[in-house]
Structure 1
């Protein structure tokens, strides 16, 4: 499994527009074979940072998604919304490997 962690710099006066974008991508990623773990919008602290996380079973599955989304009309509408509203100033995408199972300290030999 591969998980993308996206850090956004957003326009703090356009959080509502960014939330529309976020809700669209949660639906789109899930519809296209991924598992979206949500968007995390500013609440307290920095008012111009947001994060998203979503997973695909493999890097190959993610690459297939990227090819398909480039041709998908709904995906292009979501991108156009962000561009038209100017809600996203920049973003950084990092790929991670999740650790999802816990273990007791005894099982871990600690």
Structure 2
């Protein structure tokens, strides 16, 4: 489900963004900077073994209206939806942390590729 206009307005207010919403590099950079500054990485629910819901409504409720942060699937899921609504072409991808001293770990992280 793509965000509604009201969702976009609430998101922009949450991250303190009042610029244009055109699918340009400048907009992408500004939105990413603002979201990173205002919606932190947070894994409290994971650590407390609370269920994580990744529906659009759940992301809006927790991250935007609830003024909380989230872990990678939450903050990147929110960002992906916003970017799509703005007009960007995106792909969500599973990712893993790499180290030189350990074997490959499972893909337990999410990233957003913007084309």
Structure 2-normalised TM-score? 0.32
Larger radius of gyration: 1
Higher strand proportion, which one? Answer: 1
Structure 1-normalised TM-score? 0.33
Higher relative contact order (CA 8 A, sep 6+): 1
Higher helix proportion, which one? Answer: 2
